[in-house]
Amino acid sequence: MDFIGLTKVLAQHDILIDGAEAQGLICGMLCGGMSTDDKQWRSVFADLVNNGVAMPEPVVEGLNQTFTQLVSQLTSHDFALQLFIPDEDEPLSAQGLGLINWVNGYNAGFGLHQTNLKKCSEDVQEGIEDLAQIARMEPPQDEEDIEAELTEIIEYVRITAMLCFNELHPESEEKPTLH
């Protein structure tokens, strides 16, 4: 699953968010401390984006694939998280809007599972504050001089999400090694 695929599935079934916001929401829940084994996230997702109405099967399949990809990427040791936002071939304005949508979803999902930032490290607190500012930014205009800035912001968001996951994810989920 990717940004375009998830966005198409959501749109075909009249779900009014794009793939960026959907992946951001799921990622935020995971990074806020939701268990990777949690099966309730789908009903929470439906409550937030579809007024509690169950999602059609193709949407559920796309979201499940996205969830599985996120868990794999976040638990990987090689910083593999890939944000579902428009790719570099798209105009900067589309990339920026995708990033804003992703961060808005992330912030909502994170807030569902992590309500007391004072328990978090200073780095996580600062990262979450920065993400709140990013969510309020205007989508960039299509100017080449801001392309490098947008790339840096995307990388910062990616690293911040992984930092949050690594700090806030329950340690109890580590599976014992079988010998």
H, E, C per residue of 88-121 = CCCCHHHHHHHHHHHHHHHHHHHHHHCCCHHHCC
How large is the average pLDDT for residues 12-37? 95
Q: What is the CATH number of domain 3-168?
A: 1.20.120.740
How large is the average pLDDT for residues 27-52? 92
Q: Provide, rounded to the nearest whole percent, the portion of the chain with pLDDT above 70.
A: 92
Instruction: Pick 23 or 140 by higher pLDDT.
Output: 23
Q: Given a cut of 80, is residue 142 above it in pLDDT?
A: no
Q: What are the structural domain ranges in the chain?
A: 3-168
For the chain, give the mean pLDDT: 90
- The whole-model pTM stands at 0.91
Q: Provide, rounded to the nearest whole percent, the portion of the chain with pLDDT above 90.
A: 71
Over the stretch 45-96, which tens digit does the pLDDT of each residue have? Answer: 999 999 989 899 999 999 999 999 999 999 988 888 999 999 989 988 899 9
